[in-house]
Chain A
Amino acid sequence: MRSIHTDEIIKNIKEMCIEANYTLASDVEEKIRGAAQKEDSKIGKQILAQLSENLDIAKNDLIPICQDTGMAIIFIKLGQEIHIEGVNLEEAVNEGIRQGYEEGYLRKSVVSDPLIRNNTKDNTPGIIHYEIVPGSQMEITVAPKGFGSENMSRIYMLKPSDGEEGVKRAILETVRLAGPNACPPIVVGVGIGGSFEKCAVLAKKALTRDLDKRSELKHIQELEEVILKEINELGIGPGGLGGRTTALGVNIETYPTHIAGLPVAINICCHVNRHVKRVL
C-alpha cells in the first residue's frame, strides 16, 4: 500500500491550474501555428497570426492566454492500492484550485447556485471525475474549460438506425450552430455510446487527448478524419470570419451502449484547449 499526502495533491493541482492557463500543450500550439501557413483566407490568416502572437505574449508577459480561465475540470485516475492521507480528497482538489486561481491571477468564474448566481470568488468547486484503476499511481488531468464553447455543446439521443451518417450529421450541425461563438478554430470532443451522462463525460475526456493521436479503433479513426475534413469545408474559419481552419482536431471516444440507443455527445472546445496531466 502506497501513501500519498493531500499536501502533494494540493500543490500539484495548484501548479497545473496555472500552467494550463499560460501555456498550451505542444500539440495544440503546433496546430495553431501550423494552420496560419495553410489558411487561404486573408482575415483567417491574420487571426491565426494574432493567436500565435497571443501565445507568445501569454508566456513572456505572464498574462493568461484567455480571460475566461475556465471552470476547473479534473480527471483523477486513482490506483486502488493507494492510501490517501491528510484531508479528504475532494477538499484537497478544491484547495488546489483555490490556490492556483488566486496565485496564478486567474479569473474566478464560478457561481455557487445556478439560479441565484453569487460568485464563489475562488473558482471552486471544480468538477471532478474519479476513476478507480489497478495499481498504485495517481494520474491527474486538469482541464480548465471556457464556457463560450461549452455553451455550444450538445447531446443527441439518436436511434440505432441513424448509424454513422446520423452521428456525422449531428456533429456537423453542432459545429455549424456554434459558428463564431465558440472561438474557432475549435477542437471537437465526441462521445458515442454509453448512456446520456456517459457519452457527455467521454466527449469531455476526448478533448484531453493529444490531437495527433487517433483512435485505436480503425472505423472510429476513419470517422475522425472524415469529419475533420468535412468541418473544415464548412467555411466558418478562424473567428467565424471565413476560411478553412474551422477545427484543429476531432477526437472521438466510444463505449458499449444499449440495444435501443445511440447517444452522441459533442463537446466543443475553443483553440484554447487546455489540459495538463501529471502522474503522482
Chain B
Amino acid sequence: MDRYINAPLKEEIVKELKAGDYVYITGVIYSARDAAHKRMYEALEQGKEIPFDINNNIIYYLGPTPEREGQVIGSAGPTTSSRMDKYTPSLLDLGLKGMIGKGKRSQDVINSVIKNKAVYFAAVGGAGALLSKKIKSSKVIAYDDLGTEAIRELYVEDFPVIVVIDSKGNNLYEIVMQSS
C-alpha cells in the first residue's frame, strides 16, 4: 500500500504501517550514523543528554557527500543499519519512533521496535542522487567536528521508503526469503 505520512511520527499512524508498505515521508528527520551514535550512547551512559529531542522522531542513517554551491545536500542515500544495532535499543527506549537505513537488524533491535511500537524503514541503497532531491533543507545541529558523520536536521518532502520491520515485528526481508 502507498502511504503519505508526516514526521515527527504519531503512534497511531506507526501502528497502521505494515511491512511491505510504500511510504512517502514529509517533515523533519535527523541524520546520524556510526560516530554520532557512539557519542550519543556514551552521553546517555554518563547520564548526559543527547543533542536533540528524540521523542517521536526519525533517525536517517546517513553520511552525505559535500554539497556544491546551490545544492541543499550532496548525495544522500542510506548506510547499512546493522552497525547501529548496538546503540539502537537505548534510543528507542528514549522515544525514537522510526529509523531509515538499509539491511538487516538484530533480534534485540526487532524486539525493541515491537516493545516501543516503532518502525524500521529501508530507503534504496545506492540511490543517493535521487534521494538528495527529496531533501529540501539541511542543517548541522550537533557534532560538527564529525564532518559527514555530524547530526543534521533535514526537512524532507515525499521521501520514498519501504516498511521493512513494522511495529508488530513483521520483517519484510524474512517474508520475501520465505516466499521464494
Contact A239/B68 with A50-B127, A57-B130 known, Cβ cut-off 8 Å: no
- Interface size of A by Cβ–Cβ distance < 8 Å? 46
Whether A67 lies near B62 (C-beta < 8 A) is yes
Find chain B residues with CB under 8 A from A183 CB.
102, 125-126
Given known contacts A67-B63, A180-B102, is B76 in contact with A62 (CB within 8 Å)? no
Candidate in B76, B126, B130, B173 with the most chain A CB atoms within 10 angstroms: B126
**Could you tell me which residues of chain B, from 55 to 85, have a CB within 8 Å of some CB in chain A?**
62-68, 71, 74-77, 79-80, 82
State how many angstroms separate the Cβ of B95 from the closest Cβ of chain A.
Answer: 27
A107-B66, A108-B147 known; A148 and B79 CB under 8 Å? yes
B89 CB within 8 Å of chain A: no
Select B129's contact among A65, A109, A236, A241, beta carbons within 8 Å: A65
* Interface: B128 (CB within 8 A): yes
| Chain B residues within 8 Å of A50, by CB | 124, 127, 130, 160
Decide if B103 is an interface residue (CB 8 Å cutoff): yes
* A66 proximal to B (CB < 8 A): yes
Kindly identify which residue among B164, B172, B177 contacts A235, using a CB–CB cutoff of 8 Å.
Answer: B177
Q: With contacts A66-B77, A108-B148, A240-B103 known, is A181 near B82, CB below 8 A? A: yes
Q: Do A148 and B80 touch (CB < 8 A)?
A: yes
Q: Which chain B residue lies CB-closest to A176?
A: B177
Closest residue on chain A to residue B82 by CB atoms: A181
Q: A67-B128, A121-B147 are in contact. Are A181 and B75 (CB under 8 A)?
A: no
Q: Which residues from 116 to 150 on chain B have a C-beta closer than 8 Å to any C-beta of chain A?
A: 122, 124-130, 132-133, 147-148
Q: Closest approach, in angstroms, between the C-beta of A150 and any C-beta of chain B?
A: 11
Number of A-B contacts (CB under 8 A): 146
User: B124: shortest Cβ distance to chain A, in Å?
Assistant: 5
In the complex, chain B residues whose CB is within 8 Å of the CB of A53: 127, 130
Tell whether A191 is near chain B: CB-to-CB under 8 Å.
Answer: no
Query: A64 with B65: in contact, given A50-B127, A121-B147, A237-B176 (CB under 8 Å)?
Result: yes
Interface: A271 (CB within 8 A) = yes
Q: Give the residue of A67, A121, A235, A237 whose beta carbon is less than 8 angstroms from that of B77.
A: A67
Task: Tell whether B152 is near chain A: CB-to-CB under 8 Å.
Answer: no
Answer yes or no: B162 CB below 8 A from chain A CBs: yes
Contact B68 A62 (CB under 8 A): yes
The residue from B20, B147, B173, B177 contacting A119, defined by CB atoms under 8 A apart: B147
- Chain B residues near A237 (CB, 8 Å)? 176
Give the chain A neighbours of B124 by CB distance below 8 A: 47, 50-51, 54, 238-239
Q: Counting CB contacts under 8 A, is B180 at the interface?
A: yes
Given the complex, which residues of B lie within 8 Å of A180, measured CB to CB?
A: 102-104, 122, 125, 173
In angstroms, Cα B130 to Cα A105, docked, is: 16
CA A183 – CA B123 in complex, angstroms?
A: 10
Contact B74 A240 (CB under 8 A): no
Beta-carbon contacts under 8 Å, A218-277 to B: 234-242, 270-272
Question: What are the residues of chain B within 8 A of A108 when measuring CB–CB?
Answer: 147-148
Is B107 positioned at the interface, with any CB of A under 8 Å from its CB? no
Nearest chain B CB to A68's CB is how many angstroms away?
7
A107 and B103 contacting across the interface, CB-CB below 8 Å = no
Known: A54-B124, A61-B71. 20 other contacts (CB 8 A): A43-B20, A50-B124, A55-B129, A64-B128, A66-B75, A66-B77, A66-B126, A66-B127, A67-B64, A68-B63, A68-B79, A105-B65, A105-B68, A105-B74, A106-B66, A107-B148, A108-B148, A179-B103, A180-B104, A234-B180
**A residues engaging B (CB < 8 A)?**
43, 46-47, 50-51, 53-55, 57-58, 61-69, 105-109, 117, 119, 121, 146, 148, 151, 179-181, 183, 234-242, 270-272
List 27 A–B pairs whose Cβ atoms lie within 8 Å, in order of A's numbering: A54-B126, A54-B127, A54-B128, A57-B129, A57-B133, A61-B133, A63-B74, A63-B128, A64-B128, A65-B75, A65-B128, A65-B129, A67-B64, A67-B65, A109-B148, A121-B147, A151-B80, A180-B122, A180-B173, A181-B104, A183-B125, A183-B126, A234-B180, A239-B124, A240-B122, A240-B176, A241-B162
B residues within 8 Å of A by Cβ? 20, 22, 35, 62-68, 71, 74-77, 79-80, 82, 102-104, 122, 124-130, 132-133, 147-148, 160, 162, 164, 172-173, 176-177, 179-180
